[in-house]
Chains A and B, each alone.
Chain A
């Protein structure tokens, strides 16, 4: 007999995502992903000046703020066909990359590692053995026996007080926890080191963006950073040197700790390379533009059908009609007025119609986007596969290196095919993070070289003509493809739609009743203990869910932080 399990909310920090699964014979048979919060920001924007949209849309969320600011200015610039100064692109690129690196580190260590790491098991570890294991995998300076001994002592005190705080949502002692005590101890030590390192990425965003969360420096037409070689009041070489120092420290951690840890966890959980495959139609977009017209990119993207790299079709520019014509959203299973079939975002409508949770009807505030009528998976995995298919050498090298490490730990050959999985999404995120931290350093070099040539320009003034214009702002955000679609009439916003990464991944069923990526990936996931559905959380967390922007405030205050109901 099947049993229904509801997890609400799913995320470790943000709320708003509910997942229902029907479990039968120890496996998930059917799943529903539901956004539990209305967003509504699109309706706020109608009638406003397009130059203000970025400041408003980034308030969609308090975490991934920069991505919406950038997608928004890009949509207006695309509508105006406005070219940007190269320096503006470099500064925006550095913000994008630093934000992404921050996001990936925090997601792995602080938001999802506890799905795999049993903190209490670390208390049984031998610090000397942990040190020799860690040193065999990486030459990171924080891997010594003294460090691990200290962390174990602190952990023991901490557990002794009963105030577990950060670790309270962990499923300790669950049969699906399989790391040896030493690996658990290494992971806890790196959890703490990651707390130290992640702030460097935030500082890069703050210095360049004016503040974070919610950067202040972008404008339609460029950035508001005044560049100078010597003035103290603006972005100087001295400040940029501080930025470079943080970038170097981030690079050290990402390559020598994060990438290694993900590979080690993957090696100890080989069964998870076959769980969570789901939708293998992948979508990513190119980003980190190298020219003012968004036609040349450091990091490629595109569409892969059926998980076959040979099918890769590149999206070449941010004005590529292949992307622009392919996106539609259905509201058949979403709490909106519908009846018109899937709509292109330029024609998208946002009129709420709440019905309560109906298994076969409407059950989510998320719309259901498709690309040429097919549901897609977006995020680091689709992007890594696209970049490998495009022959992007740094990605190929880091992916190969990671899979070799996984193979060493697992003592069996693990190939690229293992990436189409729950643990594969974590591995891909670490690979992309390594690529991004290198690209961050390169964008820094490009900015400095441009300044050295005497080019200090950061802004081109936009001019709004009479009549109707439409544009799309495309961005490959940490969680995948983000697009903002704007229609401008006589210099005012007439329509605005945000199609965000988590809308793609956490989408409800579409017009043809096909499941979205979370729903499809959960099918077949084993569940050992129905009221402790750790395995379900592992698969959903592997997407790095962030729902504030994906849904169009249910009262989180009156609910316990995680409600698990096995009915």
Chain B
């Protein structure tokens, strides 16, 4: 079994990079089973094709613009995943949408895809998360861990402070 947790975003644009920040913090919060690979996708597009081929599960972490209050946790699964890509809730979709569509077309799409994220507060230039998003980050990490647990890949917490 191979599962990837992919954090995407531009860390130069404050909350835009919350997916990448989650990936950076996850290994500090818990120890992950060997089947789980963390990838900092940054602002990559097609370069990710090979890394995301024929996965059993893909958990994407990203800023999601859902018109909710800043910091609201959002989980998109099953039928909601295509909507995420159709309505372009995140600016990376141009790249990532292409990657996932290409994987489907090549018959190498992940067996299971979920998208986890938070409603961003600020997309201004800056390397720090907004206070609303910062406050919700532990919740986001817990959501990733739950998602892994549902796939039978329970991480063991090593730092309860971080979550």
| A interface residues (Cβ-Cβ under 8 A, vs B) | 12-13, 62, 106, 110, 154-155, 158, 161-167, 192, 195-196, 198-199, 202, 212-213, 553, 555-557, 560-561
Segment at the A interface, from B68-76, B90-98, B130-138, B143-151: B90-98
B43 within 8 A of A: yes
Of B50, B85, B98, most buried by chain A (CB within 10 Å of CB) is B98
- What's the minimum C-beta distance from A329 to chain B, rounded to whole angstroms? 27
- In the complex, how many angstroms separate the beta carbon of A452 from the nearest chain B beta carbon? 32
Given contacts A13-B94, A556-B91, A557-B91, contact A166 B102 (CB under 8 A): yes
In Å, the complex CA distance between A162 and B82 comes to 9
Q: Which residues of B contact A (CB under 8 A)?
A: 13, 16, 43-47, 49-50, 82, 85-86, 88, 91, 94-95, 97-98, 100-102, 104-107, 123, 125
State A165–B107 Cα separation when bound (angstroms). 15
Chain B residues contacting A202 (CB-CB under 8 Å) are: 47
Contacts of A164 in B (CB 8 A): 101
Name the A residues within 8 Å of B123 (CB-CB): 555, 557
Using known A-B contacts A165-B98, A557-B91, determine if residue A195 contacts B125 with beta carbons closer than 8 Å.
no
Q: How far is the CA of A561 from the CA of B45 in the complex (A)?
A: 15
Q: Is the CB of B85 within 8 A of A163?
A: yes
> Would you mind naming 15 contact pairs between A and B with Cβ atoms under 8 Å apart?
A13-B45, A13-B94, A62-B44, A110-B46, A155-B105, A163-B86, A164-B101, A165-B85, A165-B97, A192-B105, A195-B102, A199-B49, A213-B47, A553-B125, A561-B94
Number of A-B contacts (CB under 8 A): 62
Known: A12-B94, A163-B86. 9 other contacts (CB 8 A): A110-B98, A154-B105, A161-B82, A163-B104, A165-B101, A166-B105, A196-B106, A198-B46, A199-B49
CB nearest neighbor in B for A14:
B94
Inter-subunit contact B104/A158 (CB<8 Å) = yes
Pair A158/B49 contact, Cβ less than 8 Å: no
Return chain A residues, CB-CB under 8 Å to B82: 161-163
Q: How distant is the Cα of A110 from the Cα of B13 in the complex, in angstroms?
A: 28
Contact (Cβ within 8 A) A199 B50: yes
| Cβ-closest chain B residue relative to A11 | B94
Measured between beta carbons, the chain B residues less than 8 angstroms from A62 are 43-44
The reply to whether B100 and A165 contact each other, CB–CB distance below 8 Å, is yes
| Smallest beta-carbon distance B111→chain A, Å | 16
Contact B101 A195 (CB under 8 A): no
Q: Which of B88, B91, B94 has the most CB of A within 10 A?
A: B94
A376 → chain B closest CB, angstroms = 31
Contact call A166/B98, Cβ cutoff below 8 A: yes
Tell me the smallest distance from the CB of A150 to a CB of chain B, in Å.
9
**Would B47 and A561 count as touching, CB distance under 8 A?**
no
Known A13-B45, A110-B46, A163-B82: A195·B106 in contact at CB below 8 Å: yes
| Bound complex: CA A84 to CA B125 (Å) | 40
Question: Chain B residues with Cβ under 8 A from A161's Cβ?
Answer: 82
Determine the chain B residues whose CB is within 8 A of the CB of A212 once the complex forms.
47
B94 partner residues in chain A, CB cutoff 8 A:
12-13, 561
> Residues of B contacting A12 with CB < 8 Å?
94
Which A residues are in CB contact (< 8 Å) with B100?
165
- For A163, list chain B residues within 8 Å (CB): 82, 85-86, 101, 104
